[in-house]
């Protein structure tokens, strides 16, 4: 339990990487790194597909990334009506890529593939923990 706190709307409560949500509560957005072979994972994984190890350590993702792509969702899926419109984005941080939302404070005209962004932690009005990207 614990992971249901993550994301604007959670579909999963139990996972061995539930500590991700605790890290978010502490203001950190973390990837997991395999203690044995050092491979890094985002989304965080409990199991290493390279060496089959399952001893992981948490590691903060870099401060700065580049926008790989984005889209402004006008017609959302059921359950997200109150959030729309919102911008989904994929950001490349070098070793890992991260999927999430771009801050609604960013004007659409200012968004461009390749733009530098940084992730910030936030709590939604209904108390969910999440992160979003803002322009640097």
Partner 1 sequence: MSRDVAIIGVGQTKFTRNYQGSLREMVFEAFAEALRDAGITAREIGASLICSAPEYDKQRSPAGLLAEYLGLNPQPTFVLESICSSSTTGVRVGYSLIKAGLHDVVAVIGFQKMSEISSAESQERMGRGADIMWEAPFGSMMPAYYAMHAQAHFARYGTTEEDLALIRVKASKYGALNERAVFRKELTVEQCLNSAVVSSPLKVYDCCANADGASCLILANADRAKAISAKPVWILGLGAASETMSLTGREALDGLRAARLAAREAYQMAGLTPGEIDVAEVHDCFTIAELMAYEDLGFAEPGKGVELIRNGQTSLGGRIPVNVDGGLLSKGHPIGATGGSQVRTIVLQLRGEAGPMQVPGAEIGLVHNIGGVGIYSNVIILGR
Q: Is 23 in the site for partner 1 (CB under 8 A)?
A: no
9 touches partner 1 (CB under 8 A): yes
Question: Does residue number 125 form part of the binding site for partner 1 (CB under 8 A)?
Answer: no
Encoded one letter per residue, x for contact with partner 1 by CB under 8 A and - for no contact, window 54-93 reads: --------------xxxxxxxxxxxxx--xx-x-x-x---
Identity of the residue, 63 or 108, whose beta carbon is nearer to partner 1 in the bound complex: 108
Q: Measured between alpha carbons, how far is 55 from 64 in angstroms, rounded to an integer?
A: 27
Question: Minimum CB separation from partner 1 for residue 97, in Å?
Answer: 4
Residue from 1, 27, 109, 112 that binds partner 1 (CB under 8 A)?
A: 112
Q: b/e map of 106-134 (b: 16 or more CB within 10 Å)?
A: beeeebeeebebbbeeeeeeeebbbbbbe
Using CB under 8 A as the criterion, which residues of the chain lie in contact with partner 1 when the complex forms?
3, 6-12, 15, 42-43, 68-80, 83-84, 86, 88, 90, 96-101, 108, 112-114, 130
């Amino acid at each position: 339990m614990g992971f249901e706190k993550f994301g604007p709307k959670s579909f999963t409560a139990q996972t061995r990487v539930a500590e991700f949500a605790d890290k978010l509560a502490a203001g950190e957005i973390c990837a997991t790194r395999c203690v044995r072979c050092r491979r890094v994972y985002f989304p965080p994984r409990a199991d290493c597909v390279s060496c089959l190890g399952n001893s992981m350590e948490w590691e903060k993702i870099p401060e700065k990334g580049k926008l790989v792509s984005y889209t402004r969702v006008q017609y959302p899926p059921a359950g997200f009506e109150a959030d729309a419109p919102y911008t989904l984005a994929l950001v490349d941080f070098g070793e890992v890529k991260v999927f999430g939302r771009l801050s609604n404070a960013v004007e659409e005209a200012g968004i461009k593939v390749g733009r530098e962004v940084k992730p910030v932690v936030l709590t939604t009005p209904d108390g969910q923990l999440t992160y979003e990207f803002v322009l640097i």
